[in-house]
Amino acid sequence: MNDFVYEYHKEGFFGYSDEPIFEYFSFAHFLPLIILGLGIFLIYRFRDKLRAWRHEDTFRTIIGAWLIFNECSYYWRLLYVGNSNDGTQMMTFLPLEVCEWTAFIAAFMLLKKNKHLYDIAFYITLTLGLIPLFTPAVITRTGLGHYRYYAFWVEHIVPMLGVFYMTFVHGFRPDYKKLYKPFAFLAVLACFAIYANRHIPDANYMYLAAGTPGDSLANVLPSNIWARLAVAFGILCVLFALVSLPQIIKEVKAKRSAAPKPEAVNKKQ
């Protein structure tokens, strides 16, 4: 009989704290937000130079590969620290979260300059992707001295920077008529998440089963799964509409400017 039992570890850089140490709107919280804002400004400021840079393809490849490595490292780290709840239930960490898949989508968007992936990444990063930036509840037990802190911010900030990069540097533009793409992606992922939540003890993928420790939008959703889905869908529609509003206004203005003016019509008559 094999009596070997793997011992998980929580100490050190790759571990976590026993008590919450990350504080909302502290230096550790504002620092990545400042980096995000600075990154967007630099991408816009040097967009022409980046577009003409002979190593631009290599640059995108490095960023895309970094995103993929960062997502993989999340699971490599779990082999070391285990589940912070009891150290055994690893099935609650399957890749069924929006942020994880958005990071992979953004990575391949950068690698392939793929417009279809851009349509998905744009809407998700600028809506659902903003929520963890202001309420990063999942890292309350990690701080500047922990790897998980940095991996979390890379996972949420770099995809957003990638979207702005493709927008400013390569001229990609979102199309609200393609909203079915992010909706379809989220719907498929939600189906897998609900199935996993029903069959795996303590699973809470996409926060569709319960809330999360710390302050988060997921904590104000109804507990009933169908009511939870309905409210989440309503919030998503509002967020997508807000992001699409500048595009719609621009399109309406363009149609109005292209329409013949009444004076010109009268002169022709």
Burial 227-245 (b: 16+ CB within 10 A, else e): ebeeebeebbeebbeebbe
Establish if 17 belongs to a structural domain: no
Establish if 9 belongs to a structural domain: no
Enter the pTM of the model.
0.89
Establish if 242 belongs to a structural domain: yes
Establish if 20 belongs to a structural domain: no
Q: What is the predicted pLDDT for the residue at 217?
A: 77
For tokens 């013949």, what's the residue?
260
Q: What is the predicted pLDDT for the residue at 87?
A: 45
Q: What is the predicted pLDDT for the residue at 263?
A: 61
Q: What is the predicted pLDDT for the residue at 43?
A: 97
**What parts of the chain have a pLDDT lower than 70?**
1-7, 83-89, 259-269
Establish if 200 belongs to a structural domain: yes
Q: What is the pLDDT of residues 28-87, one digit of tens each?
A: 999 999 999 999 999 999 999 999 999 999 999 999 999 999 999 999 998 888 765 554
Q: What is the predicted pLDDT for the residue at 202?
A: 83
Establish if 103 belongs to a structural domain: yes
Q: What number of other Cβ atoms are within 10 A of residue 181's Cβ? A: 18
Establish if 1 belongs to a structural domain: no
Q: Are 143 and 22 in contact (CB under 8 A)?
A: yes
Domains of the chain: total: 1
Establish if 5 belongs to a structural domain: no
**What range defines the domain where residue 200 resides?**
27-261
Tokens found for residue 57: 């393809």
